[in-house]
Amino acid sequence: MNSSGSPRAVRFAAALMALVTVVAGLLTFGTRNEASAASTVGGAITRAEIIARAKYWYDRGDTWYSQDQADAISDGTGGKYRPDCSGLVAMAWHLPKKSDGWDLNTGDFESYSHKSWLPSLHDLLPGDALLKNGHIELFEKWVDPKDHSAGAWVYSENTYGQKTNHNTNSWSEMTTYRGIRYDKVIEKSLDGGDFDGNGAGDIYATGTGTLTIWNGKGNNNFGTADPVGGGWEGFTRPAAGDFNKDGKTDLAAVKNGTLYVWNGKGGNKFGAADAVGSGWEPFTAPVAGDFNNDGISDLSAVKDGTLYIWNGKGGNHFTPADPVGGGWEPFTAPIAGDFNNDGKTDLAAVRDGNTLHIWNGKGSNKFGAADAIGSGWGDYHTTLMSLGDVNKDGHSDIAAVNKNTGTLYLWNGKGGNKFGPADALGGGWLPHF
């Protein structure tokens, strides 16, 4: 802690803890395993879904290059797209066809009304595209987020006799392109909080009775503590989401059985508390996610071992509770994020105070079987939290405070329910959680 009592705002040396990936189906929610498309043609789409759609073509292994629309290939969700460079980006962005039934070509992308030119290649984020005369590629991620000169990973369709490529471009090669962004990309995650709207997940806490926010700066760096306001004694830990669908992060918490929502105004500011409804006494603290993939934050909580979901309708309104499945008695209250980067909200929780499990979302409030990710969470499970995308690489990250040392650790998501090694962000965090 510094002299003001705020946790340190800079990164510390990485801790020697890593998650061990173990695939195991330990718990299922009935038979809810059907897949569903997260976006609609021409609609809003998350960066995670854009990358997942491109990866689907790469994984198919049969997306042979062709400039003939008659050779269009399935996108896995009911559509078909031409397997050339522009068709790949059109497919990944889930774009509609032109009036003649063909997908956009590179010339069309030059003048496309739903794209914007990026000021710099350094502004590229997962799901953006690289465009030059006659060719376009989909940007996945930087080889080294701290050193863009190391180049980037891209998906591309290049020439006849080749299938969808997933390879790295050197920086010198990238400088022959300009960056473009689809204007229907959902910039903010529906898990975690981004209260200043800069695209990086923030840390927030109310354990001291004061809502305090540490704004993310990217690359696991955070600003100094911002004490937003007091009066939070007696509330559950807030859930962060967009409950009124205005593009800003809101907070929801329960006190004395009543659910309240504070609508975000941007810049770490919030409106007055809105008492949404009562009857929340028996439930765990709610968490927010988009479990039915309609672009509006939902709430989930556990009661008597059963997981319930309330789907958001916008305007701080929710549907009646949907009892999704039982068997949650040995687990901590879940957190939400997109841990396998398919554009759908997943849940994660710790069983018996030791092993972290993930249930990948399938849309429509459905989930796959439990995936046992790794053990050793005994000192962390009571403060497990989802922070959204802290390092701005397109993956959901998680964090927790060590109950013995008070040190906050961050695990950056890698997709596929995998995480990087723990990054220690400093001590003195126990009072906040």
Which tokens go with 209? 């009775």
Kind and range of the H or E element at 55?
Answer: helix 47-60
Whether 330 and 403 map to the same domain: the answer is yes
Burial annotation 312-349 (CB, 10 A radius, 16+ → b, else e) = beeebebeebbebbeebeebbbbbbbbbbbbbbbbbbb
Place of tokens 């509770």: 321
Q: Does residue 4 lie in a domain region?
A: no
Q: Does residue 208 lie in a domain region?
A: yes
In 3D space, the residue among 278, 243, 286, 236 whose CA is nearest the CA of residue 263 turns out to be: 243
Q: What number of other Cβ atoms are within 10 A of residue 306's Cβ? A: 16
Q: Helix or strand or coil: residue 49?
A: helix
Whether 340 and 254 map to the same domain: the answer is yes
Whether 212 and 91 map to the same domain: the answer is no
Whether 72 and 221 map to the same domain: the answer is no
Distance between CA atoms of residues 289 and 307, nearest Å: 14
Which tokens go with 255? 């006190």
Q: Which residues pair with 153 in a beta bridge?
A: 141, 168
Whether 109 and 164 map to the same domain: the answer is yes
In 3D space, the residue among 386, 389, 342 whose CA is nearest the CA of residue 367 turns out to be: 342
Residues 6 or more apart from 249 whose CB is under 8 A from it?
A: 188, 193, 194, 195, 197, 240, 241, 242, 264
Whether 218 and 145 map to the same domain: the answer is no
Q: Does residue 133 lie in a domain region?
A: yes
Residues 6 or more apart from 119 whose CB is under 8 A from it?
A: none
pLDDT in tens, 355-405: 999 999 998 999 999 999 999 999 999 999 999 888 877 788 999 999 999
- Residue 187: the pLDDT is 57
Confidence band, pLDDT 50/70/90 cuts, at residue 8: very low
Q: What number of other Cβ atoms are within 10 A of residue 8's Cβ? A: 19
Whether 243 and 140 map to the same domain: the answer is no
Distance between CA atoms of residues 411 and 359, nearest Å: 18
**Sign, CA torsion 188/190/192/196:** positive
Tell me the residue range of the domain where 166 lies: 45-186
Distance between CA atoms of residues 262 and 388, nearest Å: 19
- Domain CATH number, residue 355: 2.115.10.10
Rg (CA), the chain: 22
Q: Answer yes or no: are the C-beta atoms of 190 and 289 closer than 8 Å.
A: yes
Which tokens go with 98? 């032109």
Cα angle 18, 21, 24; round to 5:
145
pLDDT in tens, 255-311: 999 999 999 998 999 999 999 999 999 999 999 999 987 878 999 999 999 999 999
**Domain end among 151, 186, 221:** 186
pTM: 0.69
pLDDT in tens, 112-158: 999 999 999 998 988 999 999 999 999 999 998 779 999 999 999 99
Concatenated DSSP letters of 357-408: EEEEEEETTEEEEEEEEES--TTTGGG-EEEE-SSSSSS-EEEEE-TTT--E
Whether 245 and 170 map to the same domain: the answer is no
**Domain end among 152, 186, 220:** 186
- Domain CATH number, residue 144: 3.90.1720.10
Q: Does residue 15 lie in a domain region?
A: no
Give the CA dihedral 422, 203, 339, 90, nearest 10 degrees: -120
- Residue 375: the pLDDT is 95
Q: Does residue 64 lie in a domain region?
A: yes
Q: Does residue 17 lie in a domain region?
A: no
Whether 133 and 178 map to the same domain: the answer is yes
DSSP letter for 111, please.
Answer: H
- Residue 370: the pLDDT is 96
The answer, yes or no, to whether residue 16 has pLDDT greater than 70, is: no
Whether 163 and 211 map to the same domain: the answer is no
Q: Answer yes or no: are the C-beta atoms of 208 and 228 closer than 8 Å.
A: no
The answer, yes or no, to whether residue 56 has pLDDT greater than 90, is: yes
Q: Does residue 95 lie in a domain region?
A: yes
**Domain end among 186, 220, 247:** 186
Sheet of 258-262, strands arranged across: 239-241, 250-255, 258-262, 274-277
Q: What total of structural domains would you count in the chain?
A: 2
Name the residue type at position 290: D
Q: Does residue 169 lie in a domain region?
A: yes
Whether 397 and 252 map to the same domain: the answer is yes
Phi (first) and psi of residue 155, to 5 degrees = -105, 140
Whether 131 and 253 map to the same domain: the answer is no
Residues 6 or more apart from 16 whose CB is under 8 A from it?
A: 421, 422
